[in-house]
């Protein structure tokens, strides 16, 4: 299978590296130093058990004029999705499956500019990874990858799931992928985004009464909005899960916290912003999420 992974950051490199074990993988990125390092020395993955895996995907800066891939996986930050797909449009043919495993929700709106509904695949993964240096990542933990279609029976994606699983990325097809994406979203749109606004680690959210009250409000609003989308969750169960995440990693620094700290743009529009868009679509109010999105954008615009 010919697979292109757009975005050679922590997660893109992890998937590109693993998939290159059995497939022809193109790992595409705009960072020349990263591309050169992978081509020269390969991609080193530090595994959770202390071992190391060396993979050799082909890394590229430019794919203009190249033949379409069988599968294109998008792993860039959401605000760069459109430009990344436009720059690599030659990889997307009429039979190409275009897959997103990005954080947040609503990515299909962008993917549908480049292919029809039948070829869009949404997914979510329990894997995590961190960049250690050029051509070097740490695989922090494993889990299932779930993929599904926008329409119809997701079991038609079984060949892709088998191909991923054979490379060490356990993958299942699930018609409830939108529900799984929302389930993963609750922590990101509550505790995680609050760590960014407050510039604190995860533990502070559970320890501080004011922060935790706001976190609970965000979870309850998101659960109500999800119900408006036909996705029913138990608010108390989700609140307990979010608290457990905070207590399990009290010193955890989220990506949105780091982005705001370091003056970078965030993915808030596909995380908290996805709750706001769903709220406007189904009429279930989400005023706290609207305020949070505005606060994050205000912080992005600061002159530090």
- pLDDT tens digits, one per residue of 203-235: 999 999 999 999 999 999 999 999 999 999 999
Q: 112, 147, 175: which is the final residue of a domain?
A: 175
On whether both 93 and 208 belong to a single domain, the answer is no
Q: Which of 175, 190, 208 is the last residue of a domain?
A: 175
Task: Answer yes or no: do 115 and 189 share one domain.
Answer: no
Quick one: three-class SS letters along the chain? CEEEEECCCHHHHHHHHHHCCCCEEEEECCCHHHHHHHHHHCEEEECCCCCEEEECCEEECCCCCCCCCCEEEECCCHHHHHHHHHHCHHHCCCCCEEEECCCCCCCHHHHCCCCCHHHEEEEEECCEEEEEECCEEEEEECCCEEEEECCCCHHHHHHHHHHHHHCCCCEEECCCHHHHHHHHHHHHHHHHHHHHHHCCCHHHHHHCHHHHHHHHHHHHHHHHHHHHCCCCCCHHHHHHHHHHHHHHCCCCCCHHHHHHHCCCCCCHHHCHHHHHHHHHHHCCCCHHHHHHHHHHHHHHCCCC
What are the tens digits of pLDDT across the range 232-271?
999 999 999 999 999 998 998 898 999 999 999 999 999 9
Q: Are residues 44 and 111 in the same domain?
A: yes
Q: What is the mean pLDDT of residues 102-107?
A: 89
Are both 61 and 153 inside the same structural domain? yes
Residues 218, 156, single domain; the answer is no
* Domain containing residue 21: 2-175
The confidence band for 128, taking pLDDT boundaries of 50, 70 and 90, is confident
* Average pLDDT taken over every residue of the chain: 95
The answer to whether residues 28 and 154 belong to one domain is yes
| Count of domains forming the chain | 2
One domain for residues 123 and 251: no
Residue 227 sits in a domain whose CATH number is 1.10.1040.10
pLDDT on residue 303 = 59
Domain boundary among 119, 140, 175: 175
């Amino acid at each position: 299978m010919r697979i292109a992974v757009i975005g050679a950051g922590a997660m893109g490199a992890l998937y590109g590296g693993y998939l290159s074990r059995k497939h022809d993988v193109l790992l595409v990125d705009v960072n020349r130093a990263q591309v050169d390092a992978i081509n020269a020395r390969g991609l080193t993955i530090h595994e959770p058990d202390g071992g190391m895996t060396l993979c050799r995907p082909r890394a590229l800066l430019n794919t203009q004029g190249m033949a379409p891939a069988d599968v294109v996986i998008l792993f860039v930050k959401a605000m760069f999705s459109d430009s990344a797909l436009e720059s690599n449009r030659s990889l997307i043919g009429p039979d190409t499956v275009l897959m997103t495993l990005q954080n947040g929700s609503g990515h299909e709106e962008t993917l549908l500019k480049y292919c029809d509904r039948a070829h869009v695949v949404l997914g979510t993964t329990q894997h995590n990874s961190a960049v250690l240096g050029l051509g070097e990542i740490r695989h922090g933990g494993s889990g299932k990858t779930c993929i599904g279609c926008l329409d119809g029976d997701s079991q038609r994606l079984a060949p892709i799931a088998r191909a991923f699983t054979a490379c060490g990325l356990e993958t299942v097809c699930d018609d409830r992928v939108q529900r799984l994406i929302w389930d993963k979203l609750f922590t990101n749109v509550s505790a995680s985004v609050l760590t960014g606004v407050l510039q604190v680690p995860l533990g502070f959210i559970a320890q501080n009464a004011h922060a935790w009250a706001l976190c609970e409000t965000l979870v309850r609003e998101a659960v109500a909005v999800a119900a408006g989308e036909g996705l029913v969750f138990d608010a108390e169960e989700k609140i307990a899960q979010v608290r457990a995440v905070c207590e399990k990693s009290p010193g955890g620094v989220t990506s949105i916290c780091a982005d705001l700290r370091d003056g970078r743009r965030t993915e808030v529009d596909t995380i908290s912003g996805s709750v706001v868009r769903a709220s406007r679509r189904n009429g279930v109010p989400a005023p706290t999420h609207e305020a949070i999105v505005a606060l994050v954008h205000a912080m992005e615009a600061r002159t530090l």
